[in-house]
Structure formats: C-alpha cells, structure tokens
Amino acid sequence: MTARAQTPGYYAHHIFFCLNERQNGEQSCAQFNAQAGFEHCKMRVKKEGLAGQGKVRVNKAGCLDRCAGGPVAVVYPEGVWYSYVDTADIDEIIDSHLKNGQVVERLVLAPDVGR
Ligand code: FES
C-alpha cells in the first residue's frame, strides 16, 4: 500500500447523486425523483450536523452511466452503489451507512447494472 492510499480522505463519506435528465425519451435518473432524493439527503445531513470536513459531503452528479438502475447514488470511499426509491431509502442510507459505516444491502445496485 502506498503512503497516499493510507491518507484519510477529506470527507469520511462522499455521496454523489445522479441528477441527469434526458430529453430523448431514454431512461434517466431525473425521471425517478432524483432531485428530491438529493435535496432530502442534503437537508438531513446538514440538519443533523453531519456535513463538513471529516464528515459527510453530498454532491450532485451528471450521468454515472448506470442508468438502468436509476435513480442511483454512490458512496465513497467504499464505492458502494445504491438504487433508491424514496426518501425513506435515503434516510436508511444516512442512518446506516453515512453515520455508522454499515452498507444498506437491500438497496445495493447489482454489479452488472449499466446504462
Ligand atoms: S442517468 Fe443516472 S446514471 Fe445515467
């Protein structure tokens, strides 16, 4: 392992939400309330004092190329991909993964899901 790999990240957890919207009729995460999921996550993380250096960062992203599982979000540094349905799912990701480092297995995207 290199020295760089041992350096702790700036954030303990960094979650990216795909908010991509396609105008050509192809499936995209925006069709499945991705914006609402992102905003809910951002609001809760901030409200609970989880945001900031050494803690959690919530970011929007463009297409992550796993559209068939949308809406999707990915948590680093673990690189765990989630497919969520509603804000209750987002709450579970926050409470289990972002707060306690426990992956929410029932929401994990299957490894072969792509565009
Ligand atoms: S549109 Fe969301 S992953 Fe492609």
Q: So what's the pLDDT on residue 25? A: 87
CATH code of the region 9-107:
3.40.30.10
Q: Whole-model pTM above 0.85?
A: yes
| In contact, 113 and 106? CB cutoff 8 Å | no
- Judged by phi (left if over 0) then psi (alpha if -120 to 50, else beta), residue 7 lies in beta
- Using CB atoms within 10 A of its CB, is residue 91 exposed (0-12), middle (13-18) or buried (19+)? middle
pLDDT by 10-residue block (mean), the chain, 115 residues = 62 97 93 97 98 97 96 97 97 98 97 93
83 lines ligand 1 (CB under 6 A): no
- Using the mean position of ligand 1's atoms as its centre, give its distance from the Cα of residue 100 in Å: 27
Q: So what's the pLDDT on residue 7? A: 62
- 29 CA closest ligand 1 atom index: 2
Q: So what's the pLDDT on residue 9? A: 85
CA distance to 41, 42, 69, 105, per residue, from 30 (Å): 15, 17, 12, 23
- 66 CA closest ligand 1 atom index: 3
Amino acid at 94: I
Amino acid at 32: F
Residue ranges of domains in the chain: 9-107
- Using the mean position of ligand 1's atoms as its centre, give its distance from the Cα of residue 55 in Å: 26
Q: What is the rounded distance in angstroms from the CA atom of residue 76 to the CA atom of residue 93?
A: 13
